[in-house]
Amino acid sequence: MVMLEIVPVPAFSDNYIWLVHDPDSGETAVVDPGDAVPVLAEAERRGWRISQVWNTHWHPDHTGGNLAVKDAARATVSGPAGERIPGRDVELRERAEIRLGAHVGRVIEIPGHTLDHIGLVFEADGIAFVGDTIFAMGCGRLFEGTAAQMFDALQRIAGLSPDTRLYCAHEYTLGNARFAAHAEPESAAIAERLAAVTAMRGRGEITLPTTVAQERATNPFVRSPGVEKFARLRSEKDSFG
C-alpha cells in the first residue's frame, strides 16, 4: 500500500487546510476546509479528485468552505456528530472508522476547544489530524470545554505512538515556542526547538507536522503533571506576549 500524500494549503492568516491523497485509489480528502477557493485550486492544479471532506470541529475557519467543496466536487462531508457541521452527510463518534482507499482511520473524541472536537488517527500510516486540540508546542483555547477535558485530550494524543505525525490546523509554533521557553526556562530541548522554529519561520517554512515525541519533549501543556498546572498554564498563555 502506497503512503498517503499530504499537502498543506495555507488559508486566512495562519490556517492550514490539509489535502490527503491516496495514489492507489486516486481518492483525495480535504481536512477542515475553512476556505474552498485555495483548496479547490490546489486540487485542480495537482489533478486530484476530492471525494471527501473531514471536519474536526465546527468553527467557521474549519468548515466555511464545506458547502462549496461539496457542490464543486460532489464530496461527502463527515464531521463530529454533536456539532453544527455545514453539509454533513456522515456523523462521526468515538471509534467510528473513516476510509480513504485502503487506508483506515479511527475517530477519537478530544474535547476542550469545542465540546465535540474529534481527531482522526491513521495508525498504520502513523498520522493523525488533530484540528485545534494540540498545536506544535501548544494547545487550543478553551472556548467551550473545561481544563480537565483538554488535559485529558492532550494526554490521549500524547499516548499515541511516539513517531505519529500530528497535522494541526494553524501555524502557531513560533508563538507557542516562545511561551514554552517562558514556562520551562531550564529546558534545553525547548530552547533548541525555539531556535530551530525561529530559523524556519525566518525562511518562511512551515513548521508542521509535529510528532508525538516532539510534543512530549517540548510542549508544556502536554508535560503538565496534572489538571491544575495545565489550567494555570492555559490561563497564562491566553495573555502572554
Q: Is 125 annotated as a binding residue?
A: no
Residue 170 neighbours by CB under 8 Å, 6+ apart: 14, 15, 16, 132, 135
pLDDT at 48: 98
Spatial distance between the Cα atoms of 78 and 176, rounded to a whole number of angstroms: 30
Catalytic, out of 21, 22, 32, 62: 62
Q: State the average pLDDT over residues 96-114.
A: 98
Q: Is 132 annotated as a binding residue?
A: yes
170 is catalytic: yes
* pLDDT above 90 for 87: yes
133 backbone dihedrals φ, ψ, rounded to 5°: -80, -55
* pLDDT above 90 for 223: yes
For 112-153, write each residue's pLDDT tens digit.
Answer: 999 999 999 999 999 999 999 999 999 999 999 999 999 999
* pLDDT above 80 for 241: no
**Vertex 155, ends 152 and 158: CA angle to 5°?**
155
Spatial distance between the Cα atoms of 15 and 31, rounded to a whole number of angstroms: 11
Tally of CA atoms within 13 A in the half-sphere of 53 that contains its CB = 33
Strand ranges of the sheet holding 210-211, from the earlier edge strand across to the other edge: 97-100, 103-109, 118-122, 127-131, 165-168, 210-211
Catalytic, out of 22, 32, 35, 59: 59
Which H or E element spans position 28? strand 27-31
182 is catalytic: no
CB 112 within 8 A of CB 141: no
Q: Kind of pairing, strands 118-122 and 103-109?
A: antiparallel
Per DSSP, 123 falls in state: G
Q: Which residue has the cell 474535547?
A: 111
14 is catalytic: no
Catalytic, out of 21, 103, 113, 117: 113
Which H or E element spans position 100? strand 97-100
Q: State the average pLDDT over residues 15-29.
A: 98
61 is catalytic: yes
1 band by pLDDT with thresholds 50, 70 and 90 = confident
Catalytic, out of 22, 35, 57, 103: 57
pTM attached to this predicted model = 0.97
Catalytic, out of 22, 32, 35, 132: 132
State the total domains in the chain: 1
For 3-17, write each residue's pLDDT tens digit.
Answer: 999 999 999 999 999
Residue 85 neighbours by CB under 8 Å, 6+ apart: 55, 58, 63, 66, 77, 79
21 is catalytic: no
For the chain, give the percent of residues with pLDDT over 90.
99
Identity of the amino acid at 194: L
Domain residues for the domain of 91 are 5-239
pLDDT at 14: 97
Q: Is 21 annotated as a binding residue?
A: no
Q: Is 117 annotated as a binding residue?
A: no
Catalytic, out of 61, 116, 117, 125: 61
Q: Is 170 annotated as a binding residue?
A: yes
Give the CATH number, domain containing residue 110: 3.60.15.10
pLDDT at 59: 98
